[in-house]
Structure 1
Amino acid sequence: MKNSLRIGVVGAGAMGADHIDRINNRTAGAHISAIIEPDAARAAQAAENAPGAQLFSNIEEAIAAEAVDAVLIAVPGPFHEPVLVPALEAGLPILCEKPLTPDSESALRIVELEQKLDRPHIQVGFMRRFDPEYNNLRQLIESGEAGELLMLRGIHRNPTVGENYQESMLITDSVVHEFDVIPWLAGSPVVAVEVKYPKTNSLAHSGLREPILVIMELENGVLVDVEMNVNVQFGYQVATEAVFEKGLARIGQPSGMQRWRDGEFLINEHRDFTTRFATAYDRQIQSWVNAVHEGTLVAGPNAFDGYLVALSCEAGVKALDGGVIPVEAAPRPEFYAKNFHGILVEKA
């Protein structure tokens, strides 16, 4: 493919396989040139959807073979740093699925390493910034049309989770998204986190106290509460309500066909994130590919944003045990001064 960006996907699990399909079938200007996966059987299965892709067991082999122009990291968070370091040292553009790394200390190491380059090379995969409804809400907040933003209310509900879902994952696997998108919407960082426990859902497995209410204080005075509920049974729901001086705005409401029958009103709800954020994932990848072609390399949350989210998650996990936990971040370097607005520029 002429002028097609050669992307190497690191990790051929569910998320990696989904991105392979997306890039090869729904993304202009790019194709999968390499699959980096130590599990040979998993790599071979993923390669069935990536004709011509070379297989490698680690990122260093792919770099040495000059098989990639850019890298998409889709392995679990604890394995991100060992992939990010050689990719940065090779000067490759990177899209790294969330989190950047599992903790603020390692995230800061990546931030410091990246600043040895001429510009940011890492985009973190917080795809909600590319969701059309989130874009519309941010534009409304920035416009001032409804007056000042006073409060934000978030809803993050899953139908159910498995026995391996631990209480800290309420923060690190779920509210992690709110820790990115809420400051982005409001234009202000998180400065404190608190967690409140309502009555525990009897359907939660033993040892999991949920739902929880996460309260965030933003630097600009906006107060945020997020209901995190992982056994709600009816479906997958992510929604936000913004309270302004002159009205309200809501996003994430069920849409589609409405039916009335037998004295009931019915409308379908999402079952998981793959449908709720399908458009956001597609826009995220296309925007990143566009940015690499244009030389800006990053079209979304950068590594410093990933570091800020890691700090908020650490505060959130501490807050599970009670108290208001401050979030104290290093100053944003000039290297990361530009903030992306999350609006896709389409390219054929």
Structure 2
Amino acid sequence: MGELLGVAVLGAGHMGADHIRRIGRRVGGARVVAVADPDRPRAERATAGLDGVALHTEAEAALDTPGVDAVVIATPDTLHEAALLAALERRLPVLCEKPMTPDPAGALRVLAAETALGRRLIQIGFMRRYDPEYARLKEALDAGELGRPLMLHCVHRNVSAPPGFTSAMLISSSASHEIDAARWLLGQEITAVTALRPSPSTQAPGGLQDPQFLLFETAGGALVDVEIFVHCGVGYQVRCEVVGERGSARIGEEHGLRITGGAGARTEVPQDYVVRFADAYDRELRAWVDAVRDGRVTGPSAWDGYAATAVAEAGVRALGSGTRTPVELAPRPPLYG
């Protein structure tokens, strides 16, 4: 494909606008040709300064815009399944923000539709796989530098969560990145989840169980613990430590500007995931564009999206029941072998 890849972006909210900006100004080999969002003024703001972008209020109208070769889905989670199925009907490669669907049943319907085509068209936006620190940690594990992995310790903190954020969303939305990172780093499926309830922070809205502490068991016998705290009030902090039989490795210690002066030393903490993982988002989009232009789809698959959704669903059930909850996965189709 010699010409620029024509991309339709569905959703012009926080993530959609960020993807539009990156494709339009930072990622080579592609251009935004269509945007769909029911809030037209928001779509106009997101595309300001970009030429030749067709604006629509309906997703399918954007997919049918002349010149569209691929799709980025950044709509609300409940709209992902319909958008994915519409893209598959048109044989369009897709980069879909996580979660792939809000529930495992919807994810299985997407898997069935893609499997029926006999080729991968979907990549899920688990951008941590493209972060240089996570990539180096994966290399160390795959090379056996740490020996057999025994434990994975994860921290995920936000300054605050948007209005309407629920206790279940700490798992289904926030912890979904840790779910995928654990599966990818360890090369093992998660088989059971236990969710613990620390005393809620006084900074969290009433009724919100924040923070939470999750414990994942894996098929290879490793344990993964995850602290999720979405109203920490300090900054966006993501850390990960692998403990193996022959050593350990930790990432995510410092990512802000460190200032030293007469008042001492201080480090500025990123306030947003788009800032902390800015490089990872660029790398993710460049890799996706390059692969699609080459006739391929790589990166996290629809199976990865389904598995993450199934683990999150088990986690939400564990939070409600207070008991260890097994993860139930359907058989893995050969397409994702």
TM-score by length of 1: 0.92
Q: 1:59 to 1:257 in 2, by over 3 A?
A: closer
Q: 1:189 to 1:33 in 2, by over 3 A?
A: same
Q: SS at the partner of 2:209?
A: coil
Show CA shifts across 1:279-337 (max 9, x none).
111011000001101111x2211111111111011101111121001001012111011
Q: Percent identity?
A: 45
In the aligned structure 2, how far is the partner of 1:160 from the partner of 1:61?
Answer: 35
Partner of 1:346: none
In the aligned structure 2, how far is the partner of 1:148 from the partner of 1:301?
Answer: 23
Letter in 1 for 2:318: A
In the aligned structure 1, how far is the partner of 2:62 from the partner of 2:271?
Answer: 37
* 8 Å contact from structure 1 (residues 72, 96) kept in 2: yes
Corresponding position: 1:289 with 2:289: yes
Q: SS at the partner of 1:320?
A: helix
Corresponding position: 1:314 with 2:280: no
* 8 Å contact from structure 2 (residues 255, 276) kept in 1: no
> Which range moved further: 272-281 or 227-236?
227-236
Q: 1:201 to 1:40 in 2, by over 3 A?
A: closer
* Offset at residue 81 of structure 1 (A): 1.4
In the aligned structure 2, how far is the partner of 1:179 from the partner of 1:193?
Answer: 11
> Which range moved further: 253-262 or 208-217?
253-262
Partner of 1:227: 227
Q: 1:53 to 1:255 in 2, by over 3 A?
A: closer
Describe how 1:91-130 pairs up with structure 2 within 5 A.
91-130=91-130
Partner of 2:274: 274
* Offset at residue 200 of structure 1 (A): 2.4
In the aligned structure 2, how far is the partner of 1:125 from the partner of 1:256?
Answer: 24
Partner of 2:324: 324
TM-score by length of 2: 0.95
- C-alpha RMSD of the superposition: 1.7
Q: SS at the partner of 2:175?
A: helix
> Which range moved further: 37-46 or 171-180?
37-46
* 8 Å contact from structure 1 (residues 59, 87) kept in 2: no
* 8 Å contact from structure 1 (residues 95, 125) kept in 2: yes
Partner of 1:86: 86
* Offset at residue 259 of structure 1 (A): 4.3
Q: SS at the partner of 1:167?
A: coil
Partner of 1:153: 153
Q: SS at the partner of 2:304?
A: helix
Describe how 1:69-84 pairs up with structure 2 within 5 A.
69-84=69-84
* 8 Å contact from structure 1 (residues 69, 92) kept in 2: yes
* 8 Å contact from structure 1 (residues 311, 329) kept in 2: yes
In the aligned structure 2, how far is the partner of 1:162 from the partner of 1:177?
Answer: 18
Describe how 1:127-146 pairs up with structure 2 within 5 A.
127-146=127-146
Q: SS at the partner of 2:117?
A: coil
Partner of 2:20: 20
Q: SS at the partner of 2:299?
A: coil
* Offset at residue 30 of structure 1 (A): 0.4
* Offset at residue 246 of structure 1 (A): 1.8
> Structure 1, unaligned stretches of length 5 or more?
338-348
Show CA shifts across 1:197-224 (max 9, x none).
2232222211012211100001001100
Q: SS at the partner of 2:207?
A: coil
Q: SS at the partner of 2:171?
A: helix
Letter in 2 for 1:270: P
* 8 Å contact from structure 1 (residues 156, 229) kept in 2: yes
* Offset at residue 44 of structure 1 (A): 2.5
* Offset at residue 45 of structure 1 (A): 2.4
Q: 1:42 to 1:163 in 2, by over 3 A?
A: closer
* 8 Å contact from structure 2 (residues 137, 249) kept in 1: yes
* Offset at residue 2 of structure 1 (A): 5.5
> Structure 2, unaligned stretches of length 5 or more?
none
* 8 Å contact from structure 1 (residues 77, 100) kept in 2: yes
Show CA shifts across 1:83-119 (max 9, x none).
1112101100011111111100011000000112131
* Offset at residue 43 of structure 1 (A): 2.5
* 8 Å contact from structure 1 (residues 21, 49) kept in 2: no
* 8 Å contact from structure 2 (residues 115, 333) kept in 1: no
* 8 Å contact from structure 2 (residues 21, 46) kept in 1: no
Q: 1:227 to 1:71 in 2, by over 3 A?
A: same
> Which range moved further: 82-91 or 59-68?
59-68
Q: 1:300 to 1:49 in 2, by over 3 A?
A: farther
